[in-house]
Amino acid sequence: MTRAKKNIPPGQKSDFTGEKAEWLDSFKDTILGAGRDEIRAEYTDIANRFVLRYGYDLPFSDNVVGDPTLNPPVIPVAVTEEEKTRREEIRATLRTKLSNWYRTRYRNKKANGAALKQILGAMQGMAGNAQRPRRKAVLAMYWKLHYEERVKPAFDAMWANTKDSVPITMRVSMMQDYVRSCWEAESEEFKKGVEDQCSRVHEEAMKKWRAGRLGESFTAEEYNDALESMEDVVIPLADALAESVFSDTAEGAISKMWAQFDHLGFTATEASITRYGNAFFTTPEQVHLSRKGPVFAQGLIAISLGNPY
């Protein structure tokens, strides 16, 4: 069984587990709050703290028993060039391992593409914004309507006579060529009927598509029910969108990472969300949502009311 089927992340086993992992995890807020130019200095600082806490001689993959601060390591002054070089190499390797460890857990969040696609697809279907129907090609319509009766018997007979002399992989291409030749041999009147059928099918599909886009009219009670259940859709959607911009929660997208990696995009999206809230909800409704909703909604209300948060 592969690592993926066992739900094991790729790569080798982590060097930091147990007490060391708990200690490194205490710097999570510092790592998430650091900007692109600050994060390198943070990695270096944590590596130096790591050495002071665990010493130079503890292998990275080994763990400690109990509280290491009760028995701190003795780190004598490096008096030889060899010892200085050894310690520099250890710190460099440690810093690389620490940066990879933090990036894997906190800074490189993978988008949950399946969840995002499912949510957006459902919302698109509810909004009636499904993809515009395409007009089927005439030859494809001919194949769909008349292959069984007008083409298949003759082709099966031809294939029975030639299948022993040609590879089986040739059957599909031979079938396509034979259907095309049969279509070209049809009368102009027959072809005109198939073309008209294509147009009628496409027109019917377009009517349904346009009707779906217009949507239905709802009563005030139905709108109120939709408003009450809005969190069931908005919160998963906001979290899915947050994951798609390298953050694990909607709150993190607002307060932590997205704003630092893409300030212009974040500002534009923030303004768009604010305009949406002001356009579709009254101030009392916004306050109501903010009181019962997550920090994501509270931030929206604060912005829309002109209050920085």
Residue 297: alpha-carbon gap to chain centroid: 22
200-to-83, 137, 144, 206 alpha-carbon distances in Å? 85, 13, 15, 10
Residue 196 — very low, low, confident or very high, per pLDDT cuts 50/70/90? very high
- pLDDT above 90: percentage of residues in the chain: 7
Residue ranges covered by each domain of the chain: 18-107, 138-214, 220-304
Q: What's the pLDDT tens digit per position in 214-252?
A: 555 566 776 677 667 666 667 666 766 666 554 444 444
Whether the Cβ atoms of residue 247 and residue 258 lie closer than 8 Å to each other: yes
pLDDT in tens, 26-65: 888 888 777 777 888 888 898 888 888 888 877 777 777 7
Which residue in 289, 284, 287 sits closest to 234, CA to CA?
289
Confidence of residue 189 (pLDDT cuts 50, 70, 90): very high
How is residue 244 annotated by DSSP?
Answer: H
Distances (CA, A) of 143 to 156, 173, 177, 231: 15, 14, 12, 48
Rounded percentage of the chain residues whose pLDDT exceeds 70:
64
- DSSP secondary structure letters along 31-97: HHH--TTTHHHHHHHHHHHHHHHH-SSS-TT---SS-GGGSPPP-----SHHHHHHHHHHHHHHHHH
Lowest mean pLDDT among 60-69, 113-122, 204-213, 252-261: 252-261
Phi and psi for 22 in degrees, rounded to 5? -65, -40
How far apart (Å, rounded) are the C-alpha atoms in residues 272 and 265?
11
Angle at 54 between CA 51 and CA 56, to 5 degrees: 55
Is the predicted pLDDT of residue 4 greater than 60, yes or no? no
User: Cα 12 to chain center, whole Å?
Assistant: 25
Q: Per mean pLDDT, which range of 25-39, 81-95, 178-192 is the poorest?
A: 25-39
Distance CA 97, CA 12 (A): 12
More confident residue, 91 or 297: 91
- Local confidence band at 304 (pLDDT 50, 70, 90 cut-offs): very low
Most confident of 23-32, 66-75, 155-164, 205-214: 155-164
Q: What is the DSSP string of 157-218?
A: HHHHHHTTTS-GGGHHHHHHHHHHHHHHHS-HHHHHHHHHHHHHHHHHHHHHHHHHHH----
C-alpha R_g of the chain: 32
Please give the model's pTM, rounded to 2 decimal places.
0.36
pLDDT reading at 275 higher than 70: yes
Query: Residue 210 has what pLDDT?
Result: 79
CA atoms within 13 A on the CB side of 124: 11
Q: Return the amino acid letter for 192.
A: K
For residue 123, which of 222, 246, 236 has the smallest C-alpha distance? Answer: 236
Neighbour count for residue 74 (Cβ, 10 Å):
7
User: Per mean pLDDT, which range of 44-58, 194-208, 248-262, 279-293 is the poorest?
Assistant: 248-262
pLDDT digit string, tens, across residues 102-136: 888 776 544 445 555 655 666 665 555 567 888 88
